[in-house]
Copies of this chain bind each other. A is one copy, B any other.
Amino acid sequence: MKKIRVAIIGVTGYAGEELLRILLNHPAVEIRYLGAKIEKGTPIGEIFPQFSSLHLLCHSEIDKEEVLKVADTIFLALPHGVSLQYVPYFYAGGKTIIDLSADYRFDSAEIYEKYYIPHTSPQLLKEKVYGLPELYREKIKKSKLIANPGCYPTGVILGLAPAVKEGWINTESIVVDAKSGVTGAGRSLKPQLLYSEVNEDFKAYAVGTHRHQPEMEQEIAKLGNGKSRILFIPHLAPYNRGIFSTIYADLKVRVSSEEVWEKYSSFYKEEPFVKVLPPEKFPSVKEVRGTNLCLINVRVEKRTGKLVILTVIDNLTKGASGQAVQNFNLIMGLPETMGLENLPYLP
């Protein structure tokens, strides 16, 4: 098989590390360039011993021209705001770009700027495709610029999509109560992320102000009637990987749990990475740990007139790097599951 040459910029964060894990085992990939914000160029095996079979330097200064030369697809696993510095150049160079940051996820520069920073290449926002394959597969296949979804939005949008498309729920009063493992906060040196602090604790943060809220709203609005208001409350839980989303929506129509379950099941029937669970089976984050899966339980709670949806994903895999590779596979015409078939990390 002719290998596709790839570069990863931002390889030292958790998403970058996970991306490298997946790509290193991907039969159609040849890794050609690594970069990250580190002090000086360092062999990747010294940074991450598990990758010592890969004899490649991780560059501290990104030589964009060199990247253009050696790579066909460029993965950016950078903090928001930093991707802005790379995407226009690589896009102009005709490369396929899969950007894991938030920088190109929004359709409107205005909303991006409200939650992040000034956007320096807003013209590219309409070129990008929001990389959620289950909803935008055909567009993804033809795209050169993928804005890979945020971790929370991935699990939430997949959980809401069928109900929103059917017009069953009021999209302006959705509650998302999400619980994330600690890798979701990245590898940043903050006192509140120290082991002794997080361990044995559980807390909410960014109540109603998290940046993933407008991202979810953008996508839910597009799936439905153009309107969306979501109250999003993220929580930090003491485990490493995984997001558990408990979603509450007001039903606008009379529909039974059975109908809902059947619609969800048929909606995702052909999807390799989305599983609708039997009604009495609730998902757990460990079942998807290390995989690109999203598990969904959905039910009508009649007494309160709510649709309740439970979803789990691994924030580093389906919530970031696994989805990035899924998008890559689609663009390259490869089997969608290539490199993404490993079983969950259990126990």
Contact = CB atoms under 8 A, between A and B. Distances in A.
Interface centre among A193, A297, A343 (most CB of B within 10 A): A343
Contacts of A219: none
A179 B182 contact: no
A281 B248 CA distance: 25
Main secondary structure of the interface of A (DSSP, over half): mixed
A237 interface: yes
User: Looking at chain A, what size class is its interface with the partner chain?
Assistant: 35 or more
A308 interface: yes
B284 A240 contact: no
Contact of A284 (B177, B183, B201, B299): B201
A183 B200 CA distance: 12
Interface in A288-324: 289-290, 297, 299, 301, 303-306, 308, 310
Contacts of A17: 346-347
A199 interface: yes
Given A179-B202, A201-B286, A239-B202, A306 B194 contact: no
A82 interface: no
A205 to B, nearest CB: 6
Interface in A226-243: 229-231, 233, 235, 237-242
A235 B244 CA distance: 10
Interface string A179-201: 10111000101110111111111
